Copies of this chain bind each other. A is one copy, B any other.
Amino acid sequence: MGEALNGLKRSIMCGDVREEHIGKKITVMGWVQRRRNLGGLEFVDLRDREGILQIVFGDKINAEAFEKASKIKPEYCVAVTGEVVKRESVNPNMPTGMVEVKGESLKILSESDTPPIDIKENAETAENLRLKYRYLDLRRPDMQNIFKIRSKVSKAIRDYLESTGFLEVETPMLTKSTPEGARDYLVPSRNYPGMFYALPQSPQLFKQLLMVSGFDKYFQIVKCFRDEDLRANRQPEFTQVDLEMSFVEQDDVMALSEGLIAHVFKEVAGVDVKLPIKRMTFKEAMEKYGSDKPDLRFGMEITDITEAVKTSDFKVFKGAIEDGGSVRALCLKGGATMGRKDIDRLGEFVKTYKAKGLAWIQLKEEGIKSPIAKFLSEDEMNAIVSTMNAETGDLILIVADKNKVVFQSLGALRLDLAKKFDLIKDKNEFNFTWITEFPVFEWSDEENRYMACHHPFTAPMDEDIDIIESDKEHARAKAYDLVLNGEELGGGSIRIHNMELQERMLRALGFNEEDAWKKFGFLLQAFKFGPPPHGGLAFGLDRMIMFLAGTENIKDVIAFPKNQNAFCYLTEAPNIVDEKQLNELGIGVLPKENK
């Protein structure tokens, strides 16, 4: 059964014991990291949340404790009382390495089987095993550290927002299914059989209603849900730092957000974020980096060489230009020595982004080497090299296609080359940038129509309001994303706060009036009653923690994550439920063939 505490109190955490405690009698409680018998003594490393402390048991210290200690195994949970003494063989690598505790009494609080996974820093264990025994995986000091960071980040966020006048308001989890987003998780209603709640993808409409309510500044750290096929760094439930402000314009929300981020990074990681954070329009980001979340820790910008080749008869270039596309290129410093096979691989890589091929020019000591040299005049070739600012030793990589394809493929190639050639010099850099002037709409090949790029409640830029019906391609929004090292950290917008404009926007997105009112009537209705101008932003908390904890796996920052199929190895959720439960809800499971 293990021994009971019976009034025994812990006096200090293992990891907190220092030289100043020498001579004091302390009681610590924790887990056995390891035990060694050396020279007739039992040395036990005892671990708790704060660190590891060495305990020494000996026949002459206390015979009964020594006897017990000789039987304990890794991960036994124990309580030890004894005097702190100076350690003979100091361990400078441990904060507690100057001291040890003479084990005068020992309680075995509970025993442990041999753990199926290693409980130490950076242990490499199969992920499904880690997830199944998550409670053991979480004992690892590096995992514990991540959740300390997470707790600190939440605290820093709240402190900052509360000190700047934000109210934390909770919004519902059981709400209404809305279109124009990802797939909703549904919750069947028992009171209204055949009807369903949806779990929120974000509290977007509720936070806007809170602005209509006059709450002025709202925030919430809140769970959101998307039933999507999970990419590597997605989870079905994730946490959002959600905020909204009234009587503001874009710059106000951005300034507040910058202050918040600077506070959090300073508090938690000691990082000074230089304010104001630089800004770049969506257009510039696409043209220079082929991405709306450019990684600015290295250069190698995309360069437009259309002008240089506009007179060329080379059909690949000519065709792209005539099609309304362009010819653009990257210049890889020192790439002139790359072998043919490696270059071919880059060609294969860009094809996965729908590029038809990758042209290239190597500027070798002995002269230009390029499979397209034969299609270009010397003038054209020189114009390319000069536009690219290329020097001897460089490799120019060219894609000619529709702009969308050019940007996507060269943007991806740029990141791929940065990884391959280690172009990011300062691994500790936090390079922030705002991306602004996002398009209002984006074309969906899947749906074969324009959809909202951000969401249907985002305000168009004043100068583009008139073109939201007529020129969807070019209408820009008061939307902004905060990008860090090539990842989106958060995004937001100024919202529409006018019923007529909101109705126009929904029409432009293909809703007829009846549908618009059925789905969003409560928001449209609210706009009849003096809505304030408002806007906001949401940060992905999980992503933020990943940066601050230095991990690239989202599962590391979520205590009980799910796998790629949204399955929990630990609890085995989802699972079957009683027929009775389904009957109460008025739903049934369809036979497999119905699917």
Contacts and interface: CB of A to CB of B under 8 A. Distances in A.
Q: Which of A191, A581, A590 has the most CB of B within 10 A?
A: A191
Interface stretch (A53-61, A92-100, A449-457, A569-577): A569-577
Interface of A: 1-2, 4-5, 7, 9-10, 13, 29-32, 47-49, 75-77, 79, 109-113, 115, 134-136, 138-139, 144, 147-148, 150-151, 154-155, 158, 162, 167-177, 183-199, 205-206, 209-210, 212-216, 223, 225, 227, 236-237, 239, 246-249, 252, 462, 497-498, 500-501, 522, 526-533, 558-560, 562, 565-568, 570-577, 581-590, 592, 594-595
Contacts of A594: 583, 586, 588
Given A210-B559, A568-B176, A529 B113 contact: yes
B530 A176 contact: no
20 contacts: A1-B500, A49-B216, A76-B530, A109-B247, A110-B497, A112-B529, A139-B214, A155-B168, A172-B562, A177-B575, A185-B187, A187-B574, A189-B574, A193-B589, A193-B590, A195-B574, A197-B573, A522-B571, A583-B594, A588-B588
A501 B235 CA distance: 36
Contacts of A590: 193, 583, 586-588
Contacts of A198: 573, 577
B168 A151 contact: yes
B212 A135 contact: yes
A136 B213 CA distance: 6
Nearest to A251: B7
Taking the full assembly, how many copies of this chain does it contain? 2
Contacts of A570: 209, 522
A196 B247 contact: no
A123 to B, nearest CB: 15
Contact of A532 (B109, B194, B531): B109
B215 A175 contact: no
B209 A581 contact: no
Contacts of A175: 568, 571, 573
Q: Which of A30, A215, A581 has the most CB of B within 10 A?
A: A215
Contacts of A197: 573-574
A325 to B, nearest CB: 36
Q: Which of A29, A527, A589 has the most CB of B within 10 A?
A: A589
B530 A110 contact: yes
Given A109-B532, A577-B177, A559 B171 contact: yes
A191 B560 contact: no
Q: Which of A138, A249, A577 has the most CB of B within 10 A?
A: A577
Nearest to A564: B191
Contacts of A249: 5, 7
Given A147-B215, A170-B239, A183-B584, A529 B75 contact: yes
A480 B110 CA distance: 24
Contacts of A112: 528-530
B583 A595 contact: yes
B1 A170 contact: no
Contact of A174 (B134, B144, B562, B583): B562
A572 to B, nearest CB: 7
B577 A586 contact: no
A381 to B, nearest CB: 50
Contact of A529 (B136, B171, B592): B136
Given A158-B158, A570-B522, A586-B589, A173 B196 contact: no
A109 B170 CA distance: 27
Contacts of A196: 574-577
A216 B13 CA distance: 10
B173 A529 contact: no
Contacts of A75: 529-530
Contact of A171 (B76, B174, B560): B560
Contacts of A195: 574-577
B174 A573 contact: yes
Given A174-B566, A185-B174, A186-B188, A110 B213 contact: no
Given A214-B47, A575-B195, A587-B590, A189 B566 contact: yes
A4 B533 contact: yes
B170 A187 contact: no
Contacts of A172: 237, 560, 562, 568, 573
A368 B577 CA distance: 62
Contact of A162 (B155, B190, B223, B567): B155
B176 A213 contact: no
Contacts of A4: 462, 533
A562 B527 CA distance: 22
Nearest to A595: B586
Contacts of A194: 576, 589
A526 B76 CA distance: 13
A529 B135 CA distance: 9
Given A162-B155, A175-B568, A574 B168 contact: no
